Amino acid sequence: QKEVEQNSGPLSVPEGAIASLNCTYSDRVSQSFFWYRQYSGKSPELIMSIYSNGDKEDGRFTAQLNKASQYVSLLIRDSQPSDSATYLCAAPQAHSSASKIIFGSGTRLSIRP
Amino acid sequence: EPEVTQTPSHQVTQMGQEVILRCVPISNHLYFYWYRQILGQKVEFLVSFYNNEISEKSEIFDDQFSVERPDGSNFTLKIRSTKLEDSAMYFCAITDRADPYEQYFGPGTRLTVT
């Protein structure tokens, strides 16, 4: 059963440009979302969480949530080579403490110098 | 941001052997979780643990798996009789009291079953 879907990529973006990562979800998950960054061989690192409709900005990162369209995205401005990683979209199964997180398969992002 | 360490970083074991993976939260914590990631696949939930008991477990978490907090601090995942398909990265995750929804992952243990 599909719950959190991402394009696996790879997505190649030139350094300094905006990288746009997208995720769709079924209504079987909570409508709170997380974006994790995972470097090869490393653990997922939480970079953004978004709980309500609209945009949330944190430094070079902007998360966008559209609950009507069941769509969440992550924009990375002024992309750097260090942003090259796999980005995981994730959502709790239910909006309650201790709820398990459902992960998408991840989008591999490559920033070319 | 809560922090957590895991030991060992890499464990090689023979099929049928028991392994214990350890998670040590450094900062304030509320809930504990174990996830695993088979190479090239999604991160999968195994089990959540709160107040010294299991809150939820997945279908992966069968009788071969167990979790406990042996000394009130460490959080362990035991696999009683490992199979080849248990080879994966195992991640411990925690939440803290500031935001019980955000989960922070430890560095992981790479388990290789031969």
Q: From first to last of its 113 residues, what are the pLDDT tens digits of chain A?
A: 558 999 888 999 999 999 999 999 987 777 789 999 999 999 999 999 999 999 999 999 999 999 888 899 999 999 999 999 999 999 988 766 678 899 999 999 999 99
Inspect the interface and report whether the beta carbons of A42 and B95 lie closer than 8 Å.
no
- The pLDDT value recorded for residue B106 is 95
Q: Are B2 and B103 in contact (CB under 8 A)?
A: no
* Per-residue model confidence (pLDDT) at position A1: 54
Tell me the chain A residues in contact with residue B45 when contact means C-beta distances shorter than 8 Å: 100-102
Cα separation, B108 vs A79, whole angstroms = 27
Interface of A to B at Cβ within 8 Å reads: 32, 34, 36, 42-46, 49, 51, 88, 90, 92, 95, 97-106
Integer Cα distance of B91 and A16 in angstroms: 33
Place of tokens 């969440």: A72
- Residue ranges in chain B whose pLDDT is less than 70: 27-28
Tell whether B18 lies on the interface with A, counting CB pairs under 8 A: no
Which H helix or E strand runs over B90? strand B88-94
8 Å CB contact between B19 and B82: yes
pLDDT at position A79 is 98
Through-space distance between the first and last CA atoms of chain B, rounded to whole angstroms: 36
Mutate to test the interface with B, among A2, A32, A99 (most CBs of B within 10 A): A99
| Chain A residues touching B103 at Cβ < 8 A | 34, 46, 101
Decide if A100 and B107 are in contact by the 8 Å CB cutoff: no
pLDDT at B95: 87
**Sign of dihedral through CA atoms B32, B59, A100, B7?**
positive
